[in-house]
Amino acid sequence: MKARDTGQQQVWTHKEDEQWAARFELALACRHDAPSGLAEEVLAEVREIAAEAGRPVQDVAGDPDAYADTVAAERISEVRRSSADMDGVPPGGRFTAALVLAGVQVVLFGIMLWVSEGFWLSAGWPQLSGAALLTTVFVTAVGVLPELRAAGRLLVWRITLVAVCVLVVATATLFTSVPADPFVRVPAPALFGVGGLLAFAGFRLSDERAGRWFAGAPAAARHVDDEAWLARLEALLKGRHGYRSGAAARSREEARDHLEASGGSAVEEFGPVEIYAMRLAEGPARAGRSARAQLFPAAAMCALCAWWGCDLLTHPEAGSAWFWIKAGVLLLGMWTCGSTLRGLRTALRRDTGKNTGQRRLRG
């Protein structure tokens, strides 16, 4: 309790120390699913050590991201860390966040329509159905697919991915090809209610409960023999930890060879499969795997921005407020795409450099 209180009242002597603390807190929260109060406790300890040494925090603790990794390895239980994905998001966290984001977007969309179209909105049933499908596609793509992949349920993930593609085509058809008649009139504030319900559901639903929806059967029920354990290991490495198929298969075969040589069972030799998979996946290469996993969503977002930009340029309506609202959203999306791609390129370059250095050392 004393350490936590000190952390809440931190006063950093130097601006550089304050920036270091902010980077450390961000890394610990975003990459490691740290329990409440851990960041404050660690920062209080680091601040005290730096004050006694009379040196900046950077000199005492080193790089904040690396220090966050060290703290996570030493102070967060393996059971907790093994359940998170390679970006440190706990089970269920992406789904609840997707509900909140979808709710916020619906509310903002309602505000923009109210400003541009007025209080009463006219829409056909195909457009209303398309809007509902669009929200479903967003929640599924942002929340459901990552949860299934992190849970290692790759077959269900592939089926859901195909379903999302079908829903995208159906949504586009409803918006562009199906006649809108008959029209119905809907008050713009109705969208606030829909968005509020989605956001409220995301806030109220706990990550733990949502995570259980995607986890499948309990571990005790599904890991009945060594083959099931090995299959689960490969699925976790490919899904939760971003291994390529060949690397995951090699890790499975190495574990199989060890079991054949030792004569023991997988649980006796390696322990719980989630923890063993995490131990294999830990290390500096995790950032590169995370970046590769984000390439496809980033490319899809860029393609969406390009399509939106072409649509705006093909049908310019400079006198419409709605046109400028869409242009502003497009600029924001383009900026987000650019910053995301720059971050991914940096992470992939670092990972390539590390792999090249390791190959030279082995040679």
> Other CB atoms closer than 10 Å to residue 209's CB: what's the count?
12
Give Cα 361 distance to the centre of its chain. Answer: 34
Task: In whole angstroms, give the CA distance from residue 235 to residue 231.
Answer: 6
Residue 210: per-residue pLDDT: 93
Asked whether residue 115 carries a pLDDT value surpassing 50, the answer given is yes
What is the rounded (10 degree) CA torsion for 31, 162, 211, 256?
-80
Burial class (CB in 10 A: 0-12, 13-18, 19+), 65: middle
CB 189 within 8 A of CB 110: yes
Asked whether residue 336 carries a pLDDT value surpassing 90, the answer given is no
Q: How far is CA 174 from CA 107, 121, 122, 130, 178, in A?
A: 22, 18, 16, 6, 5
Task: In whole angstroms, give the CA distance from residue 250 to residue 45.
Answer: 42
Percentage of the chain surpassing pLDDT 70? 89
Mean pLDDT for the chain?
82
Asked whether residue 57 carries a pLDDT value surpassing 90, the answer given is no
Give Cα 224 distance to the centre of its chain. Answer: 31
Residue 224: per-residue pLDDT: 63
Number of H helices, E strands in the chain: 19, 2
Helix (H, G, I), strand (E, B) or coil at 131: helix
Q: If pLDDT is split at 50, 70 and 90, which confidence band does 20 have?
A: confident
> Other CB atoms closer than 10 Å to residue 299's CB: what's the count?
12
Helix (H, G, I), strand (E, B) or coil at 123: strand
Asked whether residue 4 carries a pLDDT value surpassing 70, the answer given is no
> Other CB atoms closer than 10 Å to residue 211's CB: what's the count?
20
pLDDT tens string 209-260: 999 999 876 554 455 689 999 999 999 999 999 899 999 999 999 999 999 9
Asked whether residue 311 carries a pLDDT value surpassing 80, the answer given is no
Residue 201: per-residue pLDDT: 95
pLDDT tens string 170-180: 888 887 777 76
Reported in sequence order, the residue ranges of the chain that DSSP labels E, i.e. its strands, are 120-124, 183-187
Task: In whole angstroms, give the CA distance from residue 282 to residue 242.
Answer: 11
Residue 10: per-residue pLDDT: 59
Residue 1: per-residue pLDDT: 32
